[in-house]
Structure 1
Amino acid sequence: MRGADEVRRKVVKLALKETELSPRELAVTFTDKESRFVSEASVYRVLKALDLITSPAFIVMKAASEFKDKTTAINQLWQTDFTYFKIIGWGWFYLSTIP
């Protein structure tokens, strides 16, 4: 079990150094830096046991039950969707769709 304890110690050390990374990002970073695989679930369990997991900050938005400005003809209302995702080592990328 000595090897497992060493991995746990290194995961915690990395988590305390890279505080902005999620368990998934930490698992990938650990695997890249240490050349040893560790799963996201394992990272999460190790950090959770030491109370190092913080709750994500969610912004709750409530949808209206109907449109405020009603349409009377086609093409008066268009739908778009935006999302973003982070690629480790590159940064944040934004995706927009317009049907």
Structure 2
Amino acid sequence: TQGKIERWHQTLKNRILLENYYLPGALEQAIGDFIDHYNQHRYHESLGNLAPADVYLGRAEVILKTRKEIKAKTIEKRRLLHRQTAA
């Protein structure tokens, strides 16, 4: 929708306008870097907090499995610590 692209432009402007650019090439490079970061490296909530590049290259399942394992280990450690301090 129009609102999504307007939000994207607002985010772009907010990031780009933080610095002064004295040459047009420097501004173009900054915009290109932002677009690359936004489309390839930034975690997207709609993709399960994965980067689009990870989803596109088929790494999503491995990453989500690893996160799930880390979460389970962390919860178990916290339970053990809680039991030790409660005893």
TM-score range, shorter chain: under 0.3
State the TM-score, normalized to the length of structure 2. 0.27
Query: Greater strand share, 1 or 2?
Result: 1
Query: Greater helix share, 1 or 2?
Result: 2
State the TM-score, normalized to the length of structure 1. 0.24
